[in-house]
Structure 1
Amino acid sequence: MAHAAAHLKKARELEANPEYRALQKARERRKRHRERAERRKQSDSNTSFLRAARAGNIDKVLDFLKNGVDISTCNQVRKRLVCL
């Protein structure tokens, strides 16, 4: 029981520390940045895949599928959903 109380006290002290809060915020910003970059990367490959499919470029479509692009990829264009 004393161990749990000491742990809670230490956590409270860390949360009150402005440097700790700034560090946490910086970590969350970096995490969001990495997630956005990953979504952007996926979006770019999905867009290229859809363009190749619409253009009838079977070689490129097959390359994208071999590299793991999802066949049920959708793209939002002008507020309407366009799916392959």
Structure 2
Amino acid sequence: MSFDPHAELAQLRHAQAIRRRRPYWRGRSQLDPHTAELLALHDAGATPADLQRWLATPPRRLRVAHSTVARWLRRTLTQRQTDQGTR
């Protein structure tokens, strides 16, 4: 069996390209697993900044921008209103 440097190099480059890819969330947010808690905090009067700080505390340790939390909250609240309106 002979060593083929071109095949090995192609395999290495392919593996590196796979590792370099960023994960694609397919419309899922990192905040989605915490939906119930975030909405409960919001209903209790929490602001997006409060929610951002809550997400950053252990055990969650999720660092997201304020605008991310605000957009997620607006989208989720709109969705919740449309779901309640169709019932």
Higher helix proportion, which one? 1
* TM score, norm. by length of structure 2: 0.40
Higher strand proportion, which one? 1
Larger Rg: 1
* TM score, norm. by length of structure 1: 0.41
